[in-house]
Amino acid sequence: MNYQTFQPHPNLAALISCYWTLEVPASDHPDRQRIIPDGKIEMAFILGDNIKRYTSGQQFILQPRAFVLGQTLEPFYVEPTGSVNSFSVSFYPYGFANFADVPLKTLANKETPISDLFGEETARKLEQHIIEASNTQERITIVEKFLLNRLNQTTTVDTIVKSTIATLVATNGNTSISNILKKEPSKRRQLERKFAEKIGISPKQLGKVIRLQSALKILLNHEGENLTHIAYESNYYDQAHFIKDFKEFTGINPKDFLGHKNMELSSAFYK
């Protein structure tokens, strides 16, 4: 597996976490990979063979060749049908709303073809240019030109949403929304509504995902670390609370996560 990340142009660095590419050779016995929530929204282009996304048991759909994956709150499985070659844009939680004209809650927990978001003709041209590009840097240049043009056409995310996310990120998801709004408690419903529109999930849900991210990074980078210590470092009430949240978002126990063949891709993303 060859997974690489690339930094965005400074004009987009506040909205885009990174660009990333993934290449995996074809296998006669491909493993399903469990993808877990990370609080980000992805715009992905499949350049290799099709990829299955399992909906339940043995039921699956083929992911669109160019799509946006909205906020997810539960794990799901993907499996390649051959060789993997993909190029993706990873947006910060508030990032993608600056380029879209639809409420982001409509994108949650599913892949939406980019043609549904940007129109058939615009999406077709963008996808074709990405496919025909000779290397990753060319693809980055193409997608950045497209996004910078969109940025000038759409309304930016509200300050209240940005400041809430900044606080959640700075505290690793360990600040309650009540505490964030303690000087303006009347804005709670407004914030919830704006999060549904601009982020796709609630502030509380995003806080839980961010806190889990913090715990996952400790787990992956300090293998063998005591679970109680990880729970404490991540500000969970206790180990049981940590395990409960971990299973909710990953579908697996923390101890089973490490070295699990179905977690190889998610482990690479978090490392």
pLDDT band (50, 70, 90) for residue 259: low
Query: What does the pLDDT read at residue 261?
Result: 64
Spatial CA neighbour of 218 closest among 232, 208, 204 = 232
Query: What does the pLDDT read at residue 138?
Result: 98
Query: What does the pLDDT read at residue 264?
Result: 66
Mean of pLDDT values over 217-246: 80
What secondary structure letter does DSSP report for 173? T
* Digit-coded pLDDT (tens) for 53-108: 998 888 999 999 999 999 988 888 999 999 999 999 999 988 898 898 888 999 98
Query: What does the pLDDT read at residue 107?
Result: 92
3 state SS of 217: helix
Query: What does the pLDDT read at residue 159?
Result: 79
The CA–CA distances, whole Å, from 71 to 4, 26, 117 equal 22, 29, 16
- Taken in order of first residue, the domains within the chain and their CATH numbers are 2-151 (2.60.120.10)
Spatial CA neighbour of 61 closest among 71, 69, 70, 50 = 50
